[in-house]
Amino acid sequence: MSLFDMRLSDIHNRLNNKELSVTELVDASFARIAATDAKIGAFLNLNEAGARKEAAALDAQLAAGGERGLLFGVPAGIKDNIVTEGLRTTCASRFLENYDPIYDAAVVTKLRAAQSITMGKLNMDEFAMGGSNENSAFHPVHNPWDLDRVPGGSSGGSAAAVASGQVYFTLGSDTGGSIRQPAAYCGVVGLKPTYGLVSRYGLVAFASSLDQIGPITKNVEDSAYVLQAIAGHDERDTTSANVNIPDYVSALTGDVKGLRIGVPKEYLGAGIDPTVKERVLEALKVFESMGAVWEEVSLPHTEYAVATYYLLASSEASSNLARFDGVRYGVRAEDPANLLDLYRKSRSEGFGAEVKRRIMLGTYALSSGYYDAYYKKAQQVRTLIKRDFDQVFEKYDLIIGPTAPTPAFKLGEQVGDPLTMYLNDICTIPVSLAGVPAISIPCGLANGLPVGMQIIGKPFDESTVLRAAHAFEGQTGFHNLRPALS
């Protein structure tokens, strides 16, 4: 068994008993990366010298005794749109290929306080725009379950690194499903917290009203530990919520008796692969056997969610990415004729095709004469979608459905068809627009590929989401399935 298949408490016990050192954990992580990443492509940059220095310091602390952090000594990977002081952060874009941040994101500071070790930065779709990780400017990521298939996106590197046992956990970011969908494709656990629960300070903005950072782990207990470490109010993020942070780990009681679950008919209808639907219905029977009850419900504005999302997210992207103009950040075109030519050439050379597509779509939606017809209308529909969730949560504790309509598809299969690619997020986008928490956990296989189930909760009720997910894990064990990756 890999060290990274062990529970966090077991690793800490072995560290306490001097049966294991932090340096050995870090060595094991780098050895696994060296053995597998040529096939997977999860990492863009490694922090080898920094990680080994941190490991030596933690081993010295271990020998001296005293208090230790919640995530003491465990190797972690960070998505490459989360800034790390002195460690290159590219957003998988040529535009930032030479960018070395001068500060840490709030979540990175919190992970340092919890004493995990940053092993490196993880591949992603450029500026988090994509659902297959084929939009990285450097190289695609391959799914550890089938190297000819995508790992999902945009946090594909984060999910693939956990699934292949390269690191103990990773951080991803989720705007329309970018943690949950790759977690589903790679057979791991991905949590998108409530909007505002985790600080966005230091996350390179894509769509500021939707972006959220969350953990990707092998099991729900580890997800609770990592969320405990990174959640909390931050004055530097104006959308950060000042709420009490409960003890997420103690919520994992295994008891779901009496929980009321709503199952949207829109999430199990047209476009959902029959095998995926079958796995989710089997999972609902497991919840029934544990004493929960479920009923079919409706989220009637779901059909408008994808169009709404791409208008709003692209509009926010066109504004957020205006700062990348060749003057202050990254790529600067050579020999421009004037300032406007510098902007045009730098952005043409620095951005990839998908980023340009979304900037143009968003700029059009925000332009004079079209704002009311597109952007304002999309905001109004977003309110209706959120109201759908509010009404269901008046009667139910949780909502359950598939995370993605199909298992992972093949590399290159959809890259020339953006609309089909966008529809892969049809089950995750409404949740992002509503700002509520959701977790994707493995619920079985379809033709040998992982299927993810999405458990959605009320705002700031991550405890119930985690409790239900943990109870399901305890009954089924699907989270213990591993890809046959040599």
Active site residue 432: no
3 state SS of 38: helix
For the question of residue 178 being annotated catalytic, the response is yes
Coil vs helix vs strand at 246:
coil
Q: Which of 136, 178, 223, 314 is catalytic?
A: 178
* Total residue length of the chain: 486
d(CA 163, CA 183): 9
450/17 Cα distance (integer angstroms)? 36
Euclidean distance between CA atoms 63 and 8, whole angstroms = 19
User: Distances in Å between the alpha carbon of 305 and those of 96, 170, 310?
Assistant: 31, 28, 9
My answer on whether omega of the bond before 154 falls inside 30° of 0, hence cis, is: yes
- Report the run of H or E that residue 77 belongs to, with start and end: strand 75-79
Question: Can you tell me which residue has the tokens 């499903």?
Answer: 177
DSSP state letters, 342-380:
HHHHHHHHHS-HHHHHHHHHHHHHHSTTTTIIIIIHHHH
Rounded CA-CA distance 278/432 in Å is 25
Instruction: Tell me which of 21, 29, 132, 154 is the catalytic residue.
Output: 154
Known catalytic residue at 319: no
CA quadruple 310, 313, 319, 322: dihedral sign: negative
Residues facing 293 on adjacent strands: 260
What is d(CA 429, CA 266) in angstroms, rounded to the nearest whole number? 13
d(C-alpha 432, C-alpha 418), whole Å: 20
Joined tokens for residue 263: 């199952």
User: DSSP strand E in 124-275: where?
Assistant: 169-174, 189-192, 212-217, 260-264
CB contact at 8 A, 140 and 41: yes
Complete DSSP assignment for 280-318: HHHHHHHHHHTT-EEEEE--TTGGGHHHHHHHHHHHHHH
In one-letter notation, the amino acid at residue 15 is L
Contacts with 223 (C-beta within 8 Å, 6 or more apart), sequence order: 189, 191, 215, 217, 439, 466, 469
CA distance 461 to 437: 7
- Residue numbers annotated as active site: 79, 154, 178
